[in-house]
Amino acid sequence: MSHISFDYSGLPEKLYPFTETRNLLDIRVGILTLREKWQLFLPGFMNGEESADDIRISANVLPSRQLADLIMTGRFDESGKSAVLKKIEYPWHIFELNDFAIREDYEILTANRVSEVIPETVQVSRSTRIFIEEGAELAHCVLNAEPGPIYIGKEAKVMEGAYIRGPFALGEGGLVKMGAKIYGATTIGPYCVAGGEIKNVVMFGYSNKGHDGYLGDSVIGEWCNLGAGTSNSNVSNTGGNVSVWNPVSNGYVVAGNKCGLFMGDYSRCAINTSFNTGTVVGVSCNVFGDGLSPKHIPNFTWGMKSPAKYEFEKALRDIANWKKMKNESLSESEIQQLKIIFDRT
């Protein structure tokens, strides 16, 4: 039997800062990561050693039911003759494809399954497109699944007064706080905290945006924290295209007319931080200071206006402190990975 092997040629660098700390396949789009999607769509094709008979596919291709069917029936052709492929080439493609990905993931995760009962205090629209996993808690909130499906993961919680429009996904152990206003297509990943106003956002996991402020057309990595009142711009005052810094060109790439914040793993910002349109924050940054942020804040940056380099031991101590808040600890492999990033920054 053939298996899938992945081609990474020239891809990871374009997805900075998220591929600094993870394999491209572990990027979350929709409810699941790319790796998790492949394992669900094509479980028999994901195991085994590479061979000459392998189906070679670009690692940034977004799995789908249609694509899985083409592969299983031997009709796959990445040149585009057999399918229109959706690819995640740059970070903004993560939020641009999130609507499609949530719908695809929702269908495969909920097929032939029965949702937990929606509590009586929850106001819903289109209940047949809402799926609640075991252990989730919801009370006195509003779920509108008319625009797209809503998925609430295991042990997740949606507090009273929250307004949610689909398509929307809340990962295992995630929390939507009181009075939150969340528009689709948004993914709040496992063990994330979400509050304030959020639109078309992907939070990978274990990150916090727990307070008022606007986050839109953005991607937040793991173990990040946005201070109270933090907001980002996602549209230029001119209404024109937004350019985003990328290491491949060592310059700016046009990302369309809507683009917000990209924050790498282990980074944080102070209260009332104002992020510029199309801002890229690297790995393990402590962002604070007056006025709009620079458009690019490199890995291990301390401060914003007169930045210094975050001392490595201090960065590790601070990351460990944040991880303790969610009953996790900093592993030796994480430390080694962070040291590699620190030394080349």
Of the segments 49-58, 80-89, 288-297, which one has the largest average pLDDT value?
288-297
CA 249 from chain center: how many Å? 23
The one-letter amino acid at 97 = L
Across the chain, mean pLDDT equals 94
Identify the CA nearest to 330 among candidates 342, 341, 317, 339. 317
Between these two residues, 185 and 47, which has the higher pLDDT value?
A: 185
State mean pLDDT over 51-78: 83
Segment holding 296, helix H or strand E: strand 296-297
Residue with tokens 């990871």: 12
Contacts of 321 (CB under 8 A, 6+ apart): none
Contact criterion met (CB below 8 Å) for 133 and 152: yes
Mean pLDDT of all residues in 227-242: 95
What pLDDT is recorded for position 26?
97
- Ordered DSSP codes for 12-62: GGGGTTGGGSS-GGG-EETTEEHHHHHHHH-GGGS-S---TT-EEEETTBP
pLDDT digits (tens, 9 = 90+) for 171-220: 999 999 999 999 999 999 999 999 999 999 999 999 999 999 999 999 99
pLDDT, one tens digit per residue, over 88-130 is 999 999 999 999 999 999 999 999 999 999 999 999 999 999 9
Q: Choose the weakest-confidence range: 23-32, 43-52, 91-100.
A: 43-52
| Selected residue with higher pLDDT from 162 and 67 | 162
Q: What residues contact 237, with CB distance under 8 A and at least 6 apart? A: none
Please write the tens of the pLDDT for every residue from 6-25: 999 988 999 999 999 999 99
pLDDT at 187: 98
pLDDT > 70? residue 80: no
Q: CA of 308: how far to CAs of 36, 230, 299, in Å?
A: 38, 22, 11
In sequence order, the β-bridge partners of residue 139 are: none
Q: What average pLDDT does this structure show over 244-253?
A: 94
Percent of the chain with pLDDT over 90: 84
Q: What mean pLDDT comes out for the span 304-313?
A: 93
pLDDT at 242: 96
Banded model confidence at residue 305, pLDDT cuts 50, 70, 90? confident
* For range 285-312, the mean pLDDT: 95
Highest mean pLDDT among 4-13, 60-69, 168-177: 168-177
